[in-house]
Amino acid sequence: MTRWEHEGQSPAPQDAFPTRRELHARRRQTRRSRRRRGPRWPLVAAGVIAALVGGLAVAYANLDNNITRIDVAGSLGTDRPEVEVEGPLNILVMGSDTRQGLGTTEYGTDTAEGGAQSDTNLLVHLSADRRRALVVSIPRDSMVKAPEDCNDLSSTVDNGVVRQWNKNFNQGGAPCVIRTLEGNTDIRIDHFVVIDFMGFRTMVDALGGIEVCLPEDVADRDAHFSKEAGRHILDGKEALGYVRMRKSVGDGSDLGRIERQQAFLSSVAQKAMSTSLLLRPDRLYSFLDAATESMTTDSELGTSQMAKIANSVRSIGLDKVEFVTVPTEQYLEDPNRVQWSEAADALWEAIRFDRPLTEEP
């Protein structure tokens, strides 16, 4: 029995086994077949990438369409401050206390409150080298010179009236606030952003809440905020009450509220830039959707410009973001109001010439 035979079987015919030439031909055919199948994976990958890019394009368009833009160039006059240093960016951020969209009257109504006012006012200064950021809080109770009629460009700060800061927004919207700030500080504003109550609430909710630590029990009826002392994770509604409460904590002043707002905004920034959010596209989109849906900006500030600004400051650590409040003193005609002190002049000058407030080591 040969080695090709098994018990009960006949020897296999000689031509049943391929020759060396036939085996070689088969291997070449197999390689050609594999080569023909190879391009399918790049095509699949290209399809996936195209779908992702398409999805991102749709998301980008949705976010961009969310923003309400206003062309204010013709409402700011021709006597605006000169730019002292090329490169820095000055962005005025205002939190409007409009009650629209809240679905409740527990915070009052715009009519009852005398119209929308700027409850929070921040001047964000980004240095020309994008290595520093300065966030200046402007007390809403500041008494400042302002244009008497913000709809009349011949009415200026120099020939204007003294008005409480937050009422300028009610007088003429963002353009009136910009003209008032520029006229008092000689700082040119590049962009503005307005976010309302509802936008603040939805942004906090999109982040999954923000943790705060209360040193004592708090019960503020006006702000609709009540919590025991200790650590709490606040949802959007609670966070709105927390940053608005005033009379029931500390000395009841607007300056105390500003300090609390600054600390809270720092916590929001930390969570918004955290890896846990950046690795969750669904939560990141929810946050950006909430932010843009309640946002009003100048006509030149859309998602594209915002992305460029965000990219330019990506290397700024939170230790390089400085929060300050405009130096003030008591307003003599009303002890419940304040006016900017002479120390504020040094602050405005540092911003105009893009100098750090403190010497860097």
Among 66, 88, 105, where does a domain finish?
A: 66
Domain hosting 145: range is 70-352
Tell me, yes or no, whether 361 lies in a domain.
no
Q: Residue 113 has what DSSP assignment?
A: T
CA–CA dist 134, 44 (Å, integer): 47
Residues 120 and 172 in one domain: yes
pLDDT tops 70 at residue 60: yes
Do 169 and 24 share a structural domain? no
* Same domain, yes or no: 197 and 345: yes
- Do 229 and 158 lie in one domain? The reply is yes
- Please tell me the predicted confidence (pLDDT) of residue 156: 93
Flag whether 200 is in a domain.
yes
Asked, for residue 5, whether it belongs to a domain, the answer is no
Residue 254 CA to residue 330 CA, distance in Å, equals 12
Asked if residue 359 belongs to a domain, the reply is no
DSSP symbol at 274: S
Contact between 329 and 341 (Cβ < 8 Å)? yes
- Position 42 pLDDT exceeds 90: no
CA atoms within 13 A of residue 306's CA, in its CB half-sphere: 17
**Same domain, yes or no: 255 and 201:** yes
The arithmetic mean of pLDDT across residues 48-52, rounded, is: 47
Whole-structure pTM value? 0.77
Domain count, the chain: 2
Q: Are residues 346 and 278 in the same domain?
A: yes
Quick: pLDDT tens for 179-217. Answer: 999 999 999 999 999 999 888 999 999 999 999 999 999
Residue 288 DSSP SS3: helix
Identify whether residues 191 and 223 lie together within a single domain: yes
Asked if residue 360 belongs to a domain, the reply is no
Residue 145, C-beta contacts closer than 8 angstroms, at least 6 positions apart: 157, 158, 160, 161, 162, 163, 180, 183, 184
* Helix, strand and coil in the chain, % to nearest 5: 40, 20, 40
Residue 148 burial by Cβ neighbours in a 10 Å radius (0-12, 13-18, 19+)? middle
Q: Return the C-alpha torsion angle 305, 268, 127, 196, nearest 10.
A: 60
**173 and 30 part of one domain:** no
pLDDT at 87 > cutoff 90: yes
111 and 246 inside one domain: yes
93 lies in a domain? yes
- Residue 125, CA atoms < 13 Å, CB-side half-sphere: 24
Residue 3 resides in a domain: no
Is the sign of the CA dihedral 279, 282, 285, 286 positive or negative? negative
What type of residue is 208?
Answer: G
Give the CATH number for residue 149: 3.40.630.190
- pLDDT for 269: 84
Same domain? 36 vs 176: no
Angle subtended at Cα 312 by Cα 308 and Cα 317, rounded to the nearest 5 degrees: 135
196 and 274 share one domain? yes
